[in-house]
A = this chain, B = another copy of it.
Amino acid sequence: MDNILIHGQSDVLQALRGAQQPAFVCTIASSDTAAIEGLSIAGASAEMRKYTAPSDMEALFYGSARCIPGVAATPDGIPSPVIITMAAIGATKLPIFVVDAGCEVAPQTPYFKLGAAPARSIVTGSTVDDVPGLFERGWYLGENLAKLTDFLILGESVPAGTTTALAVMLALGMDAEGKVSSTMIGGAHDLKAAIVAEGFAAAGISKGSLKDDPLAAIAAVGDPMQAVVAGMASSASLSIPVMLAGGTQMAAVAAVMDRVGKADMGKVCIGTTRWVLRDQDADMIGLAIQAGCPRVYAANLDFGSARFDGMHIYEAGLVKEGAGAGGAAVASLSFGGLEPAELVSRIEDVYEATVLPMLGGAAGAR
């Protein structure tokens, strides 16, 4: 079994394997789109979803969240994929930096403030203010970070982010219908399509009508993370290789970078999980190719024999990815020299320390 599943050229993965000091940056944002019932289960409720992104970052820094107990979880108690990121970062000791692109609740960690406000709901057709400013500040941050590290791994945590990803990719004219992944089994494609259609109508746009103005697509139906990460990855890619660490949300970011035209897309890859790559209800590779980012690497993790039921659920197709889990895992399996079984064991340790206490003892153990 391969440790890492590779689509496209492996050159960027090789660069990560041989890097001196990669750095992990996670960009977070929130969006009123996440309050629409049925779109996202990244959080126990609509009210709780505003804490998902900041709590992920706090867990990454401190071992458990501060704005909520433990870590974020779905309504059924399945823990945030940040437990994968925590284990992978713990193994590799990568430096971590948080970027707030626009969060309703700020994380209680050090963070870069690049955005002022969460996104409005996609149904307004006017989601993000000052997209050029977000892109520009991302650009300067990426340029400065690229002077200090030789490989940048850029994660994200944005509840309902696959819906804004779908909307942006459609505005760019990509064949994206039914192709984005989801925290949920089945993908909620019909609901997402209906919400996006409502946003398009409100914005007065149609499929492909913003193919020449990617920042306008974000302003109409996207989220602030997309603008910030596209800027950061674009400038960094001019000097170092960059991994967009996430699922189909990162295909939207790559597409924006490709259409803005300031990046070296030959130095950019997407790093994700096997659960996204093999998602029968999505098409990660198809989107990546259309986005002009054909290099996709997926951590070949299997939770089927994990010690905790809450991890088995990942094999059933829930959660799948987020908080840079896939990319951080790829880093631990390449740069970090871990075997997948070692990483799974470390994730079990994080689960035991962080998630079990939330469940009131050993309830989650087999």
Residues of A within 8 A of B (CB): 21, 23, 61, 93-97, 100, 106, 108-114, 133, 137-138, 140-141, 144-145, 147-149
Contacts and interface: CB of A to CB of B under 8 A. Distances in A.
List the number of copies, as a whole number.
2
A38 B95 CA distance: 44
A110 B96 contact: no
Given A61-B140, A140-B109, A147 B114 contact: no
A96 B112 CA distance: 13
A137 to B, nearest CB: 5
Nearest to A23: B148
A144 B113 contact: no
Given A110-B114, A112-B113, A95 B145 contact: yes
Contacts of A112: 110-113
Residue among A108, A110, A111 facing the most chain B CB atoms (10 A cut-off): A110
Contact of A147 (B61, B93, B113, B133): B93
Contact of A95 (B108, B111, B144): B144
Given A110-B138, A113-B113, 16 more contacts: A21-B148, A23-B147, A23-B148, A61-B140, A93-B147, A94-B147, A95-B145, A95-B148, A97-B144, A106-B113, A108-B133, A110-B137, A110-B140, A110-B141, A111-B112, A148-B148
A131 to B, nearest CB: 15
